[in-house]
Amino acid sequence: MNQNKAGEFREEGDRKVFESKKKGGGLSPAHRFLAFMLWLGVVCGGFFLAKYYFDQAIQTVQQTNAMNVQTLEARLESLAADVGEIKKDLNSAGRTLSSSDSIQKELNKKIEELDSQLKELEKSLNILREAP
Amino acid sequence: MRHVNLFLVFSLAPFIGLLLFFTGLPKSLQALEMPLKSLHEGTGVIEGQLLEIRRDTGILSETVLEQERLYQEQSNILESLAGKSQEHRQLSDGIYEERILAMLGPPVGTHRSGRVEIKVFKLDELGYRGYIAKIKLFDPGALKVVLAGDKPGNLETTANAVKRTGAILGINGGGFYNAGGKSLPIGNTVIDGKLVGGFTPADDVFFAGTGKSGSFIGGVFTKKEDLLKLDPWQGVSFLPVLIRQGQPASIPEEWKTTRQPRTIIGEYANGDLILIVVDGRQADWSSGVTLERLQVKLAELGVKEGYNLDGGGSSTFIFKGEVLNRPSDGKQRPVVTNIVIMP
């Protein structure tokens, strides 16, 4: 008898569980929709958060790169200006050297002229010595 | 409820994965940064080197500029020295000219052109008179030897030669002789660089004239090559040589002591030519001069080279179309060669 009673109670409990399972597993469409919307919201939130975070990180890298490039460009410009100055100085030195070369040639010519004139002077003085 | 929680946990699982991924993202993104560190370092090194190069080029430029300045300074000093040297030479030449002119006295006639400067002086010494022409040739072509009728064998007066050539001054030239009815020049005559009648070697007969450059040529030439290497342009021959390189030459005895009309060609130390014609055989005017005395006179005048040309009745001096001297024959004697100066 007791066994029968106990068996009845167990069957009753199983039924309740089954009913409750039947109640939980079988969510109403509204609950299902809400759950889906919640899931979608989380997905969208995750997406935008990730996008924001990703964009921020990219932007930081871009900024760093841009700054580095700018610094490098500035230094290259400075180098180019230095090279330009050096070129100018060298050109100026080259022109001056060329000018110096022509002046030296002119100088040699003048030395030769002076030598010639001194010889002429010597000749003239010798002639003067023979003057009556 | 438990099922809901499970559902949520499983739903959020991918997002947790994503969050974990993004947590590690910065490190990955850092790898995207341009590796500019080494580039910066390299640029720094280049900058340093360029700075050094720039400093060096600056020093180079300054050195070159300094060099140029020194050259310029030296050039100016040389120019100044050359100018002073030229001034002194001109002064020396001027003093020499003054000394010559002081010995010659005031000129009685002058002519100056781009080709020649002529100063004519009277020669009035004890016992003889004559004329002297001091000639500065700017153009060697201004002095010409003129063959009578422009070919050998003819005779012509100096005045005629002067007139015919349009010359401004003329004197008789070298000696000549008659051969078979033809009058031919003695020794060697050069006209426009060509020997007239070939070369005649001689031991005592000189050749006197000018070279292509206008310089005076004089001497006794026994070899044709010796004469030709001096590049003679105009010249005549006679004898004897009176002054060589400022020193009196030995005169043959038979020429020494006779007083005769004379014609002389010579050169001053400064390259000026001197032409002298001395009258003679005219007791009331000029008895002539011995070559010995003439040698002394030439030395007094400062003549460096002196050569006795054909004298006697041939001695004639024409300037600006006028016969200045008094030829001993009372008229001009036709001669084979004349020396003329073009205006």
Subunit contact B99:A75, Cβ cutoff 8 A: no
**Counting Cβ atoms within 10 Å, is residue B116 exposed (0-12), middle (13-18) or buried (19+)?**
buried
Residue B74 within a domain: no
- pTM of the prediction? 0.71
Is residue A95 less than 8 Å (CB to CB) from chain B?
no
Element (H, E) at A39: helix A29-129
Whether residue B171 sits in one domain with residue B256: yes
With a cut of 60, say whether residue A4 has pLDDT above it: no
- B90 in a domain, yes or no? no
Distances (CA, A) of B184 to B109, B174, B277: 33, 10, 22
Q: Which residues of B touch A130 (CB under 8 A)?
A: 246, 269, 302, 304
Give the domain extent around A118: 2-129
Residue B186's domain spans which residues?
A: 106-341
Average pLDDT over residues A69-91: 85
3-state secondary structure of B303: strand
- Please report where in the chains the tokens 């070159």 appear, as a residue: B64
A117/B29 CB distance under 8 A? no
Whether B302 and A64 lie within 8 Å, measured CB to CB: no
The residues facing B171 across adjacent strands are B317, B339
> Is a pLDDT exceeding 70 seen at residue A60?
yes
Which residues of chain B are within 8 Å of residue A50 when distances are taken between CB atoms?
18, 22
pLDDT given for residue A68 in this prediction: 84
Name residues 297-326 of chain B within 8 A of A (Cβ): 300-302, 304
> In the predicted model, what is the mean pLDDT of residues B247-271?
92
Domain count, chain B: 2
Asked if the C-beta of A90 comes within 8 angstroms of chain B's C-beta atoms, the answer is yes
Same domain, B267 and B143: yes
- pLDDT at residue A24 tops 60: no
Distance, CA of B98 to CA of A131 (rounded, Å): 9
CB contact under 8 Å between B300 and A132, yes or no, is: yes
Same domain, B115 and B10: no
For chain A, what is the domain count? 1
pLDDT tens track for B45-104: 888 888 888 888 888 888 888 888 888 888 888 888 988 998 999 999 999 999 999 999
Whether B6 and B125 share a structural domain? no
- pLDDT at position A6 is 54
pLDDT average, residue stretch A43-67: 84
Quick check: is B58 in a domain?
no
